[in-house]
Structure 1
């Protein structure tokens, strides 16, 4: 005998409470409909956002880049995770009480619960790496690039550690899903504690990726409405932090609960929501370019009008000669928001009937300003003089 209770000759996971009428054909459900709605709506939006990103890159831009590949990999892992969870709900092996779950179904639950978490970790990590690759293109050097590489290292390291612990959570590995292995044979780590570690690591890296570009955003020279849009973009990106916190708050219910197939449903629901949000957030960086292409009148700003009018002030006299140093960052542009370019010095000299403009890099080479679009750091000296 295996020691499991039986209902109508079928072994079930747990003994039903006194007075509870077990119905294996129609068990009581928890979180099923919410999971279906979250998957349907979330996947629809995630596909739309990813489609516009790929449209911008392939049709409007110069083709896919490494950050796009990371987003696509994230989408694959996102869908794999969600399909596993939706199957568990549909097959009544999750969101049901243990006393209405046959041992045969419980074995499937354990196997899928071993696969799903580490695929889910890869989903979030690929999305973060996509954003960090964009960050690495923002500046040719300095503190920002250094910290971007630090962030990449942290994401890669925590991903490797978590995936390793999840795959090898039991010794032998098959003990993770094979309940026929005696309890005295081999060992397993606390899986719920590992879920906590995963959620906390996601929160830390999400906050790090979200906060890292804020100093650069504050230095952007762009119209106020565009700054508001950038702030809103990063504010929406913080939604994944919120879902990670909520999912983490749902995990304590699993610590001392033998009926885990019932209690885990709320954490799974938030995992579905978060798996779609990471794709949406990672695909938002191309929205401006997309709307400029398909609906150019929708995002009209003041910058274009100002640039078309040209300067309206009179040039200062030589007695008003000034020299100043400015640090500028290019505003959000075509495919990604900011692009790298070296330091340069620009000198403009004007006369009533002649003007000359030149641009040199810091090594004295003549530049045409069209090599790469990006973060620009320049020194400007303007001289105006008239004939006597």
Structure 2
């Protein structure tokens, strides 16, 4: 009768029957794609953010709170992505749990929790930056009130999620140490799912909020087309949020989490860079008019 392959040192879960465990050269998943997405995304997000900073400080001389928020969001995004890349580099993510020692799994758990905590202000500050931009778009009272409400929601759920991610267990270390058997934890799967759901909901809100105002604006058709194109590009963040939600739900209930979470981590890297790129779009018209005035034209 066949039995599951035994391992030494002990792994978190037993390997499937007949699987030859190799701690030194484990089977890998997603790390190469993760490196490429991180490298390309970091270059693009840094380039777009640099163009925004140059535009607001040198050309417009109006560097404001919304710009500072986006810069800080980029820093949190880089910190989040650096942790995920480190997990791939150290064979702590994208590796089967049965080819990982218990101390290594605890290391994976504490870094995933840290990345999750850092990612919340990345998204929250990027959205807050866009809301500050929205606030300046129109003097209409109903629009300003709507922006204030969404700001309050973004700030409130960001703090709530950070608290829930750090303190889901008593004792706190039970959140990442599987050797601690005493104590209790709330359903952490629900926390991660709700985080993704709320992000999708706020992304959709940010996408649709200015549409009624744009429709009423008296401006040349070419400018309206440009605005619609900008918001269409902005909708990519909604798409990535939805994809991340779809891929993360089954992975959270998978016993082999170190393997299953590798693909959702790639989508986090995509989204972290995309929110910075899309957040930089609204002010780049002035930049491109400056570097290529004949192509852009004064009426753009």
User: Which bracket does the TM-score occupy, shorter chain normalised?
Assistant: over 0.9
Alignment of 1:272 with 2:249, yes or no, is no
State the structure with more CA Rg. 1
Alignment of 1:32 with 2:31, yes or no, is yes
Q: Does the CA-based 8 Å contact 1:74-1:124 persist in structure 2?
A: yes
Gaps of at least 5 residues in structure 2 are none
Q: Does the CA-based 8 Å contact 2:189-2:253 persist in structure 1?
A: no
Counterpart of 1:175 in structure 2 is 174
1:6 CA drift (Å): 6.0
How large is the Cα RMSD of the aligned pairs?
1.5
1:20 CA drift (Å): 0.7
Counterpart of 1:64 in structure 2 is 63
1:201 CA drift (Å): 0.1
Which of structures 1 and 2 has the larger relative contact order (alpha carbons within 8 angstroms, sep 6+)?
2
**1:295 is matched with which residue: 288, 292, 295?**
292
C-alpha distance in structure 2 between counterparts of 1:258 and 1:296, whole Å: 57
Counterpart of 2:234 in structure 1 is 237
C-alpha distance in structure 2 between counterparts of 1:256 and 1:198, whole Å: 16
1:31 CA drift (Å): 0.8
**2:218 is matched with which residue: 216, 221, 246?**
221
**Partner SS for 2:163:** helix
C-alpha distance in structure 1 between counterparts of 2:283 and 2:196, whole Å: 28
Q: Does the CA-based 8 Å contact 2:170-2:184 persist in structure 1?
A: yes
C-alpha distance in structure 2 between counterparts of 1:213 and 1:36, whole Å: 36
Counterpart of 2:162 in structure 1 is 163
C-alpha distance in structure 1 between counterparts of 2:157 and 2:236, whole Å: 21
1:224 CA drift (Å): 2.0
Provide TM-score, normalisation by structure 1: 0.74
C-alpha distance in structure 1 between counterparts of 2:263 and 2:43, whole Å: 21
C-alpha distance in structure 2 between counterparts of 1:222 and 1:296, whole Å: 20
User: Which of the pair is proportionally richer in helix?
Assistant: 2
The count of residues paired between Structure 1 and Structure 2 equals 296
User: Which of the pair is proportionally richer in strand?
Assistant: 1
C-alpha distance in structure 2 between counterparts of 1:247 and 1:134, whole Å: 26
1:295 CA drift (Å): 1.2
Counterpart of 2:136 in structure 1 is 137
Provide TM-score, normalisation by structure 2: 0.95
